[in-house]
Amino acid sequence: MEMYFKRMKDEWTGLVEQADPPIRAKAAEIAVAHAHYLSIEFYRIVRIDPHAEEFLSNEQVERQLKSAMERWIINVLSAQVDDVERLIQIQHTVAEVHARIGIPVEIVEMGFRVLKKILYPVIFSSDYSAAEKLQVYHFSINSIDIAMEVMTRAFTFSDSSASKEDENYRIFSLLENAEEEKERQIASILSWEIDIIYKILLDSDLGSSLPLSQADFGLWFNHKGRHYFSGIAEVGHISRLIQDFDGIFNQTMRNTRNLNNRSLRVKFLLQIRNTVSQIITLLRELFEEVSRHEVGMDVLTKLLNRRFLPTIFNAKLPMPTGPVHRCQC
């Protein structure tokens, strides 16, 4: 990322240096004179989009955003060579805020498109000459495009980092009681197995037994376990084992008389034992896998360290419906 930002700094600096000073001055005049109008019009148009309105419906946030947008327009269109590095840092900061509160990148990109659209008539309604209007427009649009590219790249990087922290926090939340949870689920599936075995041996019937996917273990695995362990190969293996055995179980339920046949009964019992044994083995491997993720846990207190603060706040605290930030943009 550092190399990228250096390259963009050089490109932005080159844009400013190559533009005639009178053109830069006129772009700055446009920005100062019309930033308030552009900000109001910007949010009016953007909020028409239902998806964008989810993040902009809070009145207080909207007021803060409008003033921030005014500053951003003035800063970008009035940029001097010495301002470029600071402006790049501002785009990075705004992108981090957007990523942290979950604003999709497509909304940010739509916002830039709207800004360029409403800027066009503002520039061409000025009393500058036709050539000056064209040069001011090109300088302004190129400045906005560079700022947009920097912000989008920083957003993607920040969003990826936030996703990784969310993943680590998800694993940590399981890891807190991993050993206890492992033994509980192993006991649950063994209890299900023993219940079926007793019914078959005593009554040659499955009675009111539930298929594995609807038993306590199956419900835990499908509603919690798959989420906790998402991305680990063993999850898919356990899912297939449950699905395959449910097929055998349902077929046996439809033909319970087969359980009166000793060889078919033994075959079914062995299928249960084999399935449960494989699932328990895979389950142990899953918990061993998450036990390797103790990074992020304080060695002495076993509590979360500071790296998880954004994830915890997102999970526990209601966020404003708009992208609040206090950067000077």
- Which fold would CATH assign to domain 2-169? Globin-like (1.10.490)
Q: What pLDDT is attached to residue 106?
A: 84
CA atoms lying within 13 Å on the CB side of residue 96: 11
- Assess contact for 192 and 279: CB atoms under 8 A: no
Taking residue 171's Cβ as centre, other Cβ atoms within 10 Å add up to: 23
Across 12-26, 107-121, 159-173, least confident range: 159-173
Q: Tell me what the pLDDT averaged over the chain comes to.
A: 81
Higher pLDDT, 252 or 123: 123
Hey, what amino acid is at 253? M
The residue ranges of every structural domain in the chain are 2-169, 177-301
Q: What pLDDT is attached to residue 317?
A: 47
Mean per-residue pLDDT, 32-42? 93
Q: What pLDDT is attached to residue 94?
A: 85
Higher pLDDT, 160 or 92: 92
Q: What pLDDT is attached to residue 307?
A: 44
For 164-224, the DSSP string reads HHHHHHHHHHHHTTHHHHHHHHHHHHHHHHHHHHHHHHHHSS-TTPPPGGGSHHHHHIIII
Helices 21-46 and 130-175, axial angle in degrees (round to 10)? 50
pLDDT digits (tens, 9 = 90+) for 244-293: 999 999 888 888 777 888 888 889 899 999 999 999 999 998 888 766 65
- Assess contact for 66 and 326: CB atoms under 8 A: no
Does residue 119 have a pLDDT over 50? yes
Higher pLDDT, 239 or 154: 239
Higher pLDDT, 129 or 63: 129
pLDDT digits (tens, 9 = 90+) for 53-111: 777 766 645 677 888 899 999 999 999 999 999 999 998 888 877 777 677 778 888 99
On the 0-12 / 13-18 / 19+ scale of CB atoms within 10 A, 7 is exposed
Across 24-28, 50-54, 55-59, 192-196, least confident range: 55-59
Torsion, CA 274, CA 280, CA 284, CA 289, rounded to 10:
80
Does residue 298 have a pLDDT over 90? no
Torsion, CA 170, CA 173, CA 177, CA 180, rounded to 10:
-40
